[in-house]
Amino acid sequence: MKPRPRWKFTFRYAAAGIWYALRTQRNMKVHLAMAILVTAGAIVFHLPPMSWVLLLLTISSVIGLELVNTALETVVDLVTEEWHPLAKIAKDTAAGAVLIAAFFSVVIGIVLFYSPVCAYFGWG
């Protein structure tokens, strides 16, 4: 059995995993770009603190699920190089989890930004 890594190294391993996903996963790049864009929008439209909390939870759930999806797909690929219906189900359901989180993050974003954007532009 491998010895447990020192606590400070666990952050390096986590950062390496995040960096791997950013380098290799197109959807992770899209999620990160959207997170930056939405964060900038929250600054511009002066979202209240509770909206920031919801926004950050939403961003972290989408990015976190994308990391889990990447990990699961990598493990499935490690286990089998051949097409297998169970491997497909595992990959598809993990991708589905990311899709659901991303879809509802858009819905939450609309709810959070609707009033501030309308007030900013003087609509209604």
What positions carry a catalytic annotation? 66
Identity of the amino acid at 23: R
First to last CA, the chain: 65
The C-alpha atoms of residue 108 and residue 118 are separated, in whole angstroms, by 16
The C-alpha atoms of residue 74 and residue 28 are separated, in whole angstroms, by 15
50: its two tokens: 């509770």
